[in-house]
């Protein structure tokens, strides 16, 4: 039994609906998926995308949050490179 099948069996015992999306280290550009119900899968994926977007937006800052600092550039520092 694969780890995905084990997870699917365990979740099936405790949850009515679930979606599993996994990615192996051997194939980082592919994924495997298991779900309990095609209709519930759609709803779960839509809601999880909303949750993920809200979570990722907590890491974004608005432009007002930046403090712009102007530095004085001495031309002498660049003369060595010419």
Give me the domain span that covers residue 14. Answer: 3-58
Is residue 80 in some structural domain?
Answer: no
**pLDDT value at 78 more than 90:** no
Is residue 72 in some structural domain?
Answer: no
**pTM of the prediction?**
0.62
Three-state DSSP class for 60? coil
Is residue 82 in some structural domain?
Answer: no
**β-bridge partners, 22:** 32
pLDDT of 14: 97
Distances (CA, A) of 19 to 10, 12, 32: 12, 10, 11
**Residues 53 and 41: beta-carbon distance below 8 Å:** no
pLDDT in tens, 28-60: 899 999 999 999 999 999 999 999 999 888 877
Is residue 63 in some structural domain?
Answer: no
Strand residues in the chain grouped as ranges (E): 19-22, 32-35
Q: What is the number of domains present in the chain?
A: 1
Is residue 77 in some structural domain?
Answer: no
Is residue 11 in some structural domain?
Answer: yes
The answer to which of 18-27, 32-41, 73-82 has the lowest mean pLDDT is 73-82
pLDDT band at 70 (very low <50, low <70, confident <90, very high): confident
Is residue 36 in some structural domain?
Answer: yes
């Amino acid at each position: 039994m694969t780890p995905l099948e084990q997870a699917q069996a365990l979740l099936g015992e405790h949850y009515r609906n679930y979606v599993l999306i996994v990615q192996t280290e051997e194939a980082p550009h592919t994924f495997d998926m298991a779900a309990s119900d095609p209709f519930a899968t759609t709803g779960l994926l839509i809601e999880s995308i909303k949750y993920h977007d809200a979570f990722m937006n907590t890491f974004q800052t608005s432009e007002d949050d930046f403090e712009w600092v102007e530095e004085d550039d001495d031309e002498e520092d660049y003369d060595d490179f010419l």
